[in-house]
Chains A and B, each alone.
Chain A
Amino acid sequence: DAKTTQPPSMDCAEGRAANLPCNHSTISGNEYVYWYRQIHSQGPQYIIHGLKNNETNEMASLIITEDRKSSTLILPHATLRDTAVYYCIVTQKLVFGQGTRLTINP
């Protein structure tokens, strides 16, 4: 059983912020939220992860709600190269689900 729920697809204009939601209502207290993305024909690429605090790195920001039942991945200034399938996973079960296909439009 997938432990996360994501919209199947989203569109975003180039240069704008892309906000990708993920629901993980059954997350346990010691489980991390990880985000990966997969560009066509490549292996998944790590983006960011967090436990309960918001996190930021050079690629993205991760906002986790206080109850930890959902999170949002933010790509602050999306480029065409950010077009990919984005996966939110909750560790321990390593279930990827079908992810969100993000399309960045020029």
Chain B
Amino acid sequence: GAGVSQTPSNKVTEKGKYVELRCDPISGHTALYWYRQSLGQGPEFLIYFQGTGAADDSGLPNDRFFAVRPEGSVSTLKIQRTERGDSAVYLCASSLGYQETQYFGPGTRLLVL
């Protein structure tokens, strides 16, 4: 079956702009996770959804970052007033349930100029 997909694969934007990153999880997976990965570092947890609700958003760095999952499937990570420091690979993963095996998408490479 299809794995986790993320769009766009690459995004270049200018400082101060708004961006949306999309994640399509594996069908039937109730848990969805967003991570951010900077060059040379491991993935850094941002937020975790169980169904439609954000069960843990403790990793979101500040209020410029927001994520939604309105129908319990597709999720969108939204970044307002982007800064150069937001440049990173944003990874999405899904699992059947919390603490079960996570399957990762290929990531979206965000570059803020």
Residues on A facing B (Cβ under 8 Å) = 32, 34, 36, 42-46, 49, 85, 87, 91-99
Contacts and interface: CB of A to CB of B under 8 A. Distances in A.
B23 to A, nearest CB: 11
Contacts of B40: 98
Interface residues of B, number: 20
B16 interface: no
Contact of B42 (A32, A34, A42, A97): A97
A94 B48 contact: yes
10 contacts: A32-B99, A34-B101, A43-B91, A44-B91, A44-B102, A46-B101, A49-B101, A93-B45, A94-B45, A98-B41
B99 A42 contact: no
Given A43-B106, A49-B101, A92-B99, A87 B42 contact: yes
Interface in B88-113: 91, 93, 99, 101-107
Nearest to B41: A98
B44 interface: yes
Contact of B43 (A45, A46, A93, A96): A96
A97 B35 CA distance: 12
Interface string B29-56: 0000101000011111100100000000
Counting chain A CB atoms within 10 Å of each CB, the highest count among B48, B91, B101 belongs to B101
A96 B42 CA distance: 6
A53 B102 CA distance: 20
A36 B102 CA distance: 9
B32 to A, nearest CB: 12
